[in-house]
């Protein structure tokens, strides 16, 4: 979230799209309801299914799964065509005036520079035009047809309400009302927020879905302000914390890019990953990246990291260069593909139920059996820990040696968790671990200690990264937090905790495991994750900001990009909802995004300090699949064409090609129904924990499939009937839940049905059903490799007999 949970109460319009907020983030609805009651805010829910979120919204807009860019593109067009954008904000704080280079083009669904063989773009032609000094050329009058706002305007002029209606299935008058309601926040004294979650990310156009919100929020001046922002709802699985600490293959902690093969030395890494901006008003914060990287290496390797050995940079793994859509991709999409192809020997799976929650489960379960060994840490036995004796598997024929470390529960250990608003919060231990279970951190430390000992005693190939680690003796959550914050490793302040970003150096004199959390654990204040004070100034109180409760990265800033919440003189766009304010000598309110004075003053800086040029990017060159979002169908789609271009699906989508990755052709009559999958309030993710909580299993006991009365009538299915759902990849038994909450879609003049299924059920709990993901497909977003769980094609029939349900 750019903002935080409480801040939702400050909004005038809450657009919930790609999220079932009330069910998956129940607490957040406290603030949504407050906004509705206290500000008369409009709550708009855009989602294929009418859910508990829709029930508490002013309007529910059902759209066919996978057509969000059409919906949002229509809104961008509506805002621009009707001149509803916030002019001063767009002029001063976005790249609207930047001139795109002459090589840019967009023809029939493809941007300039596409390489169809390797499914990647060469982004050379997307870049901005530079003057002789190397500065971006600009047209403040916005008349140049190649200036960003004109390029955006032209691109989305194709997204007429009728066309959007035709592909999304939303009636034109409903679209117009929604666009009007949301565009009304494009005024200085109005704020609109966009809440999204996995309903946006889990598509082959996932990142571009989110980009549409970036464009809308910048046009309406909603970034940085209270009640605004782009708010990715992240929840109990600590997605925020795991992202911050890089439980992903392509980043290092603190969102530092993973080194690649074309960066053999630290110098190469710094050169290729550190942005350079010549814009005088740009802070370009990432120019500090080398400091954060060296400090991370110092934290990893301690005294073994020296200037002479590049601080151990050689010891980090390097990803292949992305010469095609799949090169250098070590995400689970290709990991499981390689496992299935027998290219992996063994590994570990921690705290994720891969044999249930990853798409195309039948492939993944086969892949696991190709390993020689697998070790896991879990609280409960689940479909992954037990894969070797799952349905249809003969344990005698599985060669994989499986080790299971019993992990204790969250409540049985202390530690930190980061909430969606980037607050790092400490939690205490409530009870002792049961049996021989231990915290996962302890299990990990002990395993690694053994590995280090083995390498030290026996040697081995490339032992340096292991034996040189600055490893722990025992697990102490607070010690880890201390190291995350970081400390000085030499000089006068040696041993002292870092107080913030400005302490970092690139000469090895500082060490930190995650630079963004610097300032969270200081010598003066101790572990700030434990703070629970409600102390606030009247200004902070007026927007529900609690700076002394826990600690938020970066630097305890509660609303990111808050310098865009004020005009060039540092005065709030909306006094009643002031986030920060320049009082003539300093900033008041939230911790400002950098201490520089307002833009109109001497030394003033542009507000978007994390972006190279300091300005919000209506048009951006950062993503691999296009500088502007464009509607493409899901990889498996019920339509043959979508009317926006001849390019049916994302040309850069990541799709593995094994014999089990079978994909139905477009508009396949054998699989005419759209399936979308989801979680629910009562079960947590893959369900392996919550299925073992009797009162939760009582509340949601069995796999179901939600469908419309119309489809049920067509198929002769009654509510409560057992049914079989089939895709080209698998077959799943479920119970029919026939409901008015799912309505058929009218797409291009014909009816398309959609059904929805939860993925929380699995065979290790008898009779409740098995993995829904046997139906879904491995097809990933080109930027993140996140699979397209939200849309694939299936068929459904009444079951004569069932074996998975009882």
Cα-based distances in Å from 770 to 35, 487, 605, 702, 760: 40, 49, 55, 9, 9
State yes or no: residue 684 binds other proteins (CB under 8 A): no
Least Å from the CB of residue 720 to other proteins: 4
Among the listed residues 91, 722, 751, 798, the single contact to other proteins using CB under 8 A: 722
Q: Which is nearer to other proteins, 304 or 739 (CB)?
A: 739
| Comparison of 15 and 376: residue with beta carbon closer to other proteins | 15
Q: Which of 337, 682, 770, 804 binds other proteins (CB under 8 A)?
A: 682
Quote the CA–CA distance of 429 and 435 in Å, as a whole number.
Answer: 16
**Four-point Cα dihedral 770, 776, 780, 781, nearest 10:** -110
| 363-402 positions binding other proteins, by CB under 8 A | none
| Cα–Cα nearest to 62, from 161, 223, 170 | 170
* DSSP code at position 473: S
Residue in 272, 431, 699, 713 binding other proteins, rule: CB under 8 A: 699
The residue (of 32 and 477) whose beta carbon lies closer to other proteins is: 32
Tokens encoding 435: 């049996």
Considering the complex, what minimum distance in angstroms separates the CB of residue 700 from other proteins? 7
| First-to-last C-alpha distance (Å) of the chain | 42
Decide if residue 595 touches other proteins (CB under 8 A): no
Q: Is 132 in the site for other proteins (CB under 8 A)?
A: no
Q: Are 120 and 656 in contact (CB under 8 A)?
A: no
Rounded to an integer, what distance in angstroms lies between the CA atom of residue 593 and that of residue 607? Answer: 7
Give the span between the Cα atoms of 445 and 435, in whole angstroms. 19
Q: Is 172 in the site for other proteins (CB under 8 A)?
A: no
Comparing C-alpha atoms, which of 623, 613, 627 is closest to residue 104? 627
User: Least distance from C-beta 172 to other proteins, angstroms?
Assistant: 15
Residue 533 CB, shortest distance to other proteins, in Å, is 23
Residue among 113 and 701 whose Cβ is closer to other proteins? 701
The pair phi, psi for residue 566, each rounded to 5°, is: -130, 160
Interatomic CA distance for residues 723 and 801, integer angstroms: 9
By the rule CB under 8 A, 766 interacts with other proteins:
no
Residue 178 interacts with other proteins (CB under 8 A): yes or no: no
The size of the interface with other proteins (CB under 8 A), counted in residues, is: 41
Cα separation, 252 vs 326, whole angstroms: 20
Q: Which is nearer to other proteins, 595 or 720 (CB)?
A: 720
Q: Report the residue number, 59 or 351, with the smaller CB distance to other proteins.
A: 59
Residue 701 makes contact with other proteins by CB under 8 A = yes
DSSP structure class, residue 280: T
Of 197, 560, 685, 697, the one binding other proteins by CB under 8 A: 697
- What is the C-alpha separation between 257 and 286, in angstroms, rounded? 11
User: Which of 132, 308, 458, 698 contacts other proteins by CB under 8 A?
Assistant: 698
> In whole angstroms, how close is the CB of 35 to other proteins at the nearest point?
12
Phi, psi (deg, nearest 5) at residue 147? -75, 150
Q: Using CA atoms, how far apart are residues 372 and 403, in angstroms rounded to an integer?
A: 11
Q: Is 741 in the site for other proteins (CB under 8 A)?
A: yes
Is there a contact between 375 and 405 (Cβ–Cβ < 8 Å)?
yes
Which residue in the set 736, 754, 757, 793 belongs to the binding site for other proteins (CB under 8 A)?
736
766's tokens: 């008898």
Considering only the stretches 25-33, 344-352, 609-617, 746-754, report the one whose residues sit in contact with other proteins under the rule CB under 8 A.
Answer: 25-33
Nearer to other proteins, 31 or 475 (CB): 31
Output the smallest distance, CB 701 to other proteins, in A.
Answer: 4
- State whether residue 530 is helix, strand or coil: helix
Tell whether residue 22 is a contact of other proteins (CB under 8 A). Answer: yes
54-64 core/surface letters (b: 16 or more CB in 10 A; e: else):
bebbeebbbbb
Q: Is 37 in the site for other proteins (CB under 8 A)?
A: yes
Enumerate residues 6+ apart whose C-beta is below 8 A from 729.
360, 362, 363, 660, 661, 662, 774, 775, 776, 777
Segment near other proteins (CB under 8 A), from 117-125, 624-632, 661-669, 732-740?
A: 732-740
Tell which one of 60, 190, 531, 563 touches other proteins (CB under 8 A).
60
* Residue 30 is a binding residue for other proteins (CB under 8 A): yes
Select from 3, 54, 497, 522 the one that contacts other proteins (CB under 8 A).
54
Of the candidates 712, 724, 736, the residue with the CA atom closest to the CA atom of residue 803? 724
Which span (19-27, 128-136, 370-378, 565-573) binds other proteins, by CB under 8 A?
19-27
Rounded to 5 degrees, φ, ψ at 780 are -110, 155
Say if CB 439 and CB 414 are below 8 A apart. Answer: no
CA–CA separation, 361 vs 332, rounded Å? 13
Run of H or E including 510: strand 510-511
Binding of residue 13 to other proteins (CB under 8 A): no
Using rule CB under 8 A, residue 50 touches other proteins: yes
Q: Write the burial class of residue 615 (CB in 10 Å: 0-12 exposed, 13-18 middle, 19+ buried).
A: buried
Among 12, 630, 700, 804, indicate the residue that binds other proteins (CB under 8 A): 700
Using rule CB under 8 A, residue 52 touches other proteins: yes
Closest distance of CB 769 from other proteins, Å: 9
Q: Tell me which of 72, 99, 266, 805 binds other proteins, using CB under 8 A.
A: 805
- 478 binding other proteins? (CB under 8 A): no
348: number of CA atoms within 13 Å, CB side?
14
Any contact of residue 710 with other proteins (CB under 8 A)? no
Question: What minimum distance in Å lies between the beta carbon of 84 and other proteins?
Answer: 26
Identify whether the C-beta of residue 284 lies closer than 8 Å to the C-beta of residue 614.
Answer: yes
Residues lying near other proteins in the complex (CB under 8 A): 22-23, 26-27, 29-30, 33, 37, 50, 52-56, 60, 681-682, 694-704, 719-722, 735-741, 743, 805
């Amino acid at each position: 979230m750019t903002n935080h949970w409480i801040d939702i109460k400050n909004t005038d319009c809450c657009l919930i799209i790609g999220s079932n907020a009330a069910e998956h983030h129940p607490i957040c609805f406290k603030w949504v309801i407050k906004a509705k009651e206290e500000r008369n805010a409009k709550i708009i829910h855009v989602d294929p299914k009418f859910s508990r979120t829709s029930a508490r919204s002013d309007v529910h807009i059902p759209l066919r799964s996978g057509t969000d860019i059409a919906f949002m593109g229509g809104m961008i067009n509506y805002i621009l065509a009707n001149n509803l954008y916030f002019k001063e904000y767009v002029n001063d704080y976005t790249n609207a005036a930047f001139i795109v280079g002459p090589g840019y083009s967009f023809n029939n669904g493809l941007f300039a520079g596409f390489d169809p063989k390797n499914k990647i773009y060469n982004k050379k032609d997307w870049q901005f035009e530079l003057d002789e000094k190397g500065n971006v050329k600009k047209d403040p009058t916005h008349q140049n047809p190649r200036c960003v706002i004109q390029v955006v305007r032209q691109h989305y002029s194709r997204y007429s309400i009728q066309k959007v209606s035709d592909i999304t299935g939303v009636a034109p008058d409903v679209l117009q009302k929604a666009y009007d309601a949301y565009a009304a926040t494009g005024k200085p004294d109005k704020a609109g927020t966009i809440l999204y979650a996995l309903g946006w990310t889990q598509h082959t156009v996932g990142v571009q879905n989110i980009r549409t919100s970036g464009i809308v929020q910048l046009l309406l001046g909603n970034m940085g302000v209270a009640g605004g922002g782009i708010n990715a709802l992240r929840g109990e699985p600590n997605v925020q914390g795991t992202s911050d600490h890089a439980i992903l293959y392509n980043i290092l902690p603190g969102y530092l890019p993973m080194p690649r093969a074309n960066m053999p030395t630290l110098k190469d890494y710094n050169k290729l990953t550190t942005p350079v901006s010549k814009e005088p008003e740009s802070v370009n914060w990432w120019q500090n990246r080398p400091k954060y990287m060296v400090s991370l290496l110092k934290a990893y390797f301690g005294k073994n990291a020296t200037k002479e050995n590049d601080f151990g940079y050689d010891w980090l793994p390097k990803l292949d260069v992305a010469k095609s859509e799949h090169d250098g991709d070590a995400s689970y999409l290709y990991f499981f593909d390689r496992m299935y192809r027998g290219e992996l020997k063994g590994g570990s799976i921690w705290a994720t139920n891969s044999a249930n929650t990853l798409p195309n489960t039948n492939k993944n379960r086969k892949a696991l059996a190709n390993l020689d060994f697998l070790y896991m840490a879990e609280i409960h036995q689940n479909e992954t820990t037990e894969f070797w004796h799952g349905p249809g598997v003969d344990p005698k024929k599985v060669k994989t040696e499986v080790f299971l470390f019993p992990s204790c529960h969250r409540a049985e250990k202390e530690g930190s968790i980061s909430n969606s608003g980037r607050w790092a919060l400490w939690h205490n231990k409530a009870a002792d671990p049961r049996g021989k279970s231990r915290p996962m951190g302890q299990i990990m430390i002990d395993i690694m200690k053994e590995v280090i000992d083995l390498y030290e005693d026996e040697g081995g190939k490339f032992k340096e990264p292991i034996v040189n680690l600055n490893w722990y003796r025992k697990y102490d959550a607070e010690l880890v937090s201390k190291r995350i914050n970081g400390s000085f490793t030499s000089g006068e302040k040696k041993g002292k905790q870092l107080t913030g970003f400005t302490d970092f150096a690139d000469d090895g004199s500082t060490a930190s495991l995650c630079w963004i959390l610097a300032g969270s654990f200081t010598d003066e204040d101790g572990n700030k994750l434990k703070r629970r004070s409600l102390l606030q100034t009247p200004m902070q109180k007026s927007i529900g900001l609690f700076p002394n409760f826990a600690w938020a990265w970066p630097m305890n800033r509660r609303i990111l990009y808050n310098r865009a919440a004020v005009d060039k003189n540092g005065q709030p766009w909306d006094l009643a909802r002031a986030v920060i304010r320049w009082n003539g000598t300093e900033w008041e309110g939230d911790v400002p995004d950098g201490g520089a004075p307002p833009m109109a003053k001497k030394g003033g800086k542009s507000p978007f300090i994390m972006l190279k040029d300091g300005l919000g990017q209506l048009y951006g060159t950062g993503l691999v699949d296009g500088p502007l979002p464009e509607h493409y169908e899901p990889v498996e789609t019920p339509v043959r064409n979508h009317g926006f271009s001849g390019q049916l699906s994302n040309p850069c989508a990541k799709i593995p090609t094994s014999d089990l990755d079978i994909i139905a052709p477009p508009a396949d009559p054998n699989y005419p129904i759209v399936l979308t999958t989801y979680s629910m309030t009562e079960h947590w993710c893959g369900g392996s924990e919550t299925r073992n909580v009797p009162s939760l299993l009582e509340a949601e006991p069995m796999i179901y499939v939600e469908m419309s009365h119309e489809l049920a009538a067509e198929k002769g299915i009654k509510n409560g009937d057992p049914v079989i759902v089939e895709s080209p990849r698998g077959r799943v038994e479920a119970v029919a839940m026939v409901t008015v909450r799912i309505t058929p879609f009218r797409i291009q003049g014909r009816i398309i049905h959609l059904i929805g299924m939860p993925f929380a059920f699995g065979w290790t709990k008898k009779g409740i059903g098995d993995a829904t993901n046997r139906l879904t497909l491995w097809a990933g977003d080109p930027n993140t490799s996140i699979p397209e769980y939200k849309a694939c094609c299936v068929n459904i029939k009444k079951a004569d007999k069932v074996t998975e349900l009882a």
